[in-house]
Chain A
């Protein structure tokens, strides 16, 4: 029966699907750019007037504050996730005794963490960071009537995101450390370098491109993710600030709010399109950057293709 299907159909059919998928990405970039282009005026970025501050009035919301909010939460997240992720990977790749059960266990845990749905991190962030840690801090400072830390805030959102992106950084860094040539280590040790010197002068510099790829991917994933922010601290439009214990504005969250809960879809459409454009470009730039870096960094990747 399979014989009856004409042979020429195979490359055409599969090719059509493959090219359609590739075309989908490109037309998406192009389409969003074209739709958003008329709305990307100077005023959309910074705004011309400063009096109005109604969060639901799209004319008083601008892209730059939204981007600053997103940048603040990804920056805080990076502060937490980069040292944690890299040190964990260094332990796994260099310091753990080979074949040790704890290292295998840790690696397994991190792989499992990579597969946890983002909404679960939201549950954890709200329950643990906001409820247990924040609530505990408030109880400690003794002001329960007006909680300071026991509410959704920038700090908790960033920490939740850090936990979510941890596996990306650990896996990429460990892979990069393992791909450093064994000869380099041997040579360094033969020259009398200590373990720390080998790590700082040989391993980390050589693994840098791989580590950077992981960090960029983590930032890319975090900057487009909204779900954990829903209960850990994103705020509507102008109600946010940049304090650690306050809610914050966020580009991705703004896209979600404007496309589902806008009171006046027609009026908010320009801002929505501009936000979508900014978000898509931010994510694509980060992803493309990571891809190029990985392509450059590993000759093996080039050979495989």
Chain B
């Protein structure tokens, strides 16, 4: 069967369209479809652009802190616009609307006082006033008021917010690494069995059933980790905290198994059977055949699978939120509670005032998370595409 090249068909049908006067419907359909596709493309760009724009002030270290930081004197209440007053008091529009003028005056006085106190504290330390959203304070430790030594502090609410990102990224890193250490060996072992050992009869069932793990909602995974895994850990290991990073890591590890398994199995199945048979015929043990022949041959596909698994573990929110304890800690122990970046976004975004420093820092973290997972996915896809070109296949 000799397929007609696609290009010539579409050119042919285009010429048909041009010739027929009755085909105006065709023309409009084509225009409509192109328009919708363009709209979808724009919407996709909008997602990335929006996150970037909202994170921009924090990215360049110019979060507008003036609205909350400049005191509005109680006597000036009637002269300032309502919006800036509302922001100064840290109220939501509906709360603001429900307050009387007198209440607002009282609130403004209290707010101005606390603000003056904060100012004095911070200036007493370093001379100039401290901007907690500057990169210096987002990354480096700092001896805040009340601390003897410089500390990494994530403390977004309260009078003087501190936005150090390090504890959150450290927690994310810990959970991701544990998840990979748990999930990848399981997934690859299962993929080896399905691709190399299992007979066709069983393979037909095993592969879809293992992939069905991906169909279990993450909130159910979290529920099971909370209800079953946590008490088991508690009893067996005797951990100091019921909810900890290890628990979250193991649960996320199970959650990434289907992704890694599915792609690794594809890569392993693509290794010609004859190579394995040849190795075995030359006297290799199964282990040698796997370690020296099969795994090296499938290495690009497997590394792509691991990268995708890492991207999924990095962005996993629900499971981690339910079982990690959600305390921003910096210790080395895997049995400490941790707080990860996506979880912080999920918990705190609802409370952050729109356009305020906290909101900006959260979007900054979202932006970094987005970039990181896009890069991981891009690497994985790059490897797969190169592999496909190498084999002379077209990738869908």
Contacts and interface: CB of A to CB of B under 8 A. Distances in A.
Nearest to A253: B219
B186 interface: yes
Chain B, interface SS category: helix
Nearest to B349: A231
Range class of the A interface residue count: 35 or more
B100 interface: no
Contact of B322 (A3, A120, A252, A256): A256
A288 B322 contact: no
Interface stretch (B106-114, B121-129, B141-149, B371-379): B371-379
Contact of A17 (B25, B94, B190, B288): B190
B4 A182 contact: yes
Contact of A5 (B97, B218, B285, B381): B285
Interface residues of B, number: 108
A110 B39 CA distance: 12
B90 to A, nearest CB: 17
Interface string A110-154: 111111111111111011100110000000000011110000000
Contacts, number: 295
Given A117-B317, A123-B349, A196-B29, A109 B50 contact: no
A200 to B, nearest CB: 9
Interface stretch (B64-72, B221-229, B233-241, B327-335): B221-229
B26 A119 contact: no
B387 interface: no
A111 B287 contact: no
B118 interface: no
A18 B194 contact: yes
B188 to A, nearest CB: 9
Given A25-B213, A120-B47, A127-B363, 4 more contacts: A91-B34, A166-B40, A182-B3, A224-B219
Interface of B: 1, 3-4, 6-7, 9-10, 12-14, 16-17, 20, 23, 25-26, 29-30, 32-34, 36-37, 39-41, 43-48, 50-51, 54, 93-94, 97, 186, 189-190, 192-194, 196-198, 200, 203-220, 222-224, 226-227, 254, 257, 261, 285-288, 290-292, 308, 311, 314-318, 321-322, 342, 345-346, 349-350, 354, 362-363, 366, 369-370, 373-374, 376-378, 381, 396
Interface of A: 2-3, 5, 7, 9-11, 13-15, 17-19, 21-22, 24-26, 28, 32, 83-85, 87-88, 90-92, 94-98, 102, 105-106, 109-124, 126-128, 131-132, 144-147, 163, 166, 170-171, 175, 178, 182-183, 185-186, 189, 192, 194-196, 198-199, 220, 223-227, 230-231, 252, 255-256, 259-260, 272, 276, 279-280, 283-284, 286-288, 291, 305
